[in-house]
Amino acid sequence: MQELQGALPQERIEQLKVHYKEVLSLLGEDTEREGLLKTPERVAKAMLNLTKGYTMDPHEVLRSAKFQEEYSQMVIVKDIDFFSLCEHHMLPFYGKAHVAYIPNGYITGLSKIARVVDIFSHRLQVQERMTLQIKQCIQDTLNPLGVMVVVEARHMCMQMRGVEKQNSVTTTSDFTGAFNQAKTREEFMNLIRNS
Ligand SMILES: [Zn+2]
């Protein structure tokens, strides 16, 4: 990974192609049949896209749109759709993220919160860490009175392999500051459930 950091995307695509072709072959496929000829390149490009979050700095996204504002009520961005890849199986997990924070002199653009979710989800992840990273990024950058993140997701590595009930949803949450109070967490949970 390290020495690949500086490589041009095209060089990385070329290198990934070679490996994905080998993987197809090891899976017992005929890599020369028509439908598969361009598959290694397509997979290489898709995987680079799905992991593009490594090259982006979510802290910078928030810092670039940080505004001084006296508003001190809860700000909620709910139903942020995301798609990620579990780092154990490299299979998708996807769902919704809900974020709330209570400003302490600074707010950010609402779309920037969704961008933060987007960046962290475009990396190999586990749902628990992604939840924590989103929370920590907002806490570190905006220094709010509190931040809370709830993530609800379906994991293909469980569903496709029949490990769990087909429609089970995994929920994770993490919070800081004012959200240590049960009443504040309840207010947020009520607001994301109603409507
Ligand atoms: Zn998995």
CB 16 within 8 A of CB 49: no
How many angstroms does the Cα of residue 105 sit away from the middle of ligand 1? 40
Catalytic positions, please?
86-89, 127, 155, 157
The pLDDT mean for the chain works out to 94
Instruction: Return d(Cα 195, Cα 192) in angstroms, integer.
Output: 8
pLDDT at 4 over 90: no
- The arithmetic mean of pLDDT across residues 72-80, rounded, is 96
pLDDT reported for residue 120: 98
pLDDT reported for residue 1: 45
pLDDT band at 2 (very low <50, low <70, confident <90, very high): very low
Instruction: Provide the whole-model pTM.
Output: 0.92
How many angstroms does the Cα of residue 135 sit away from the middle of ligand 1? 22
How many angstroms does the Cα of residue 108 sit away from the middle of ligand 1? 33
- The arithmetic mean of pLDDT across residues 53-75, rounded, is 95
How many angstroms does the Cα of residue 87 sit away from the middle of ligand 1? 6
pLDDT band at 126 (very low <50, low <70, confident <90, very high): very high
| Tens-digit pLDDT profile for residues 94-107 | 999 999 999 999 99
pLDDT at 3 over 90: no
CB 109 within 8 A of CB 75: no
φ and ψ at 50, to 5 degrees?
Answer: -70, -15
pLDDT band at 86 (very low <50, low <70, confident <90, very high): very high
pLDDT band at 162 (very low <50, low <70, confident <90, very high): confident
CB 45 within 8 A of CB 20: no
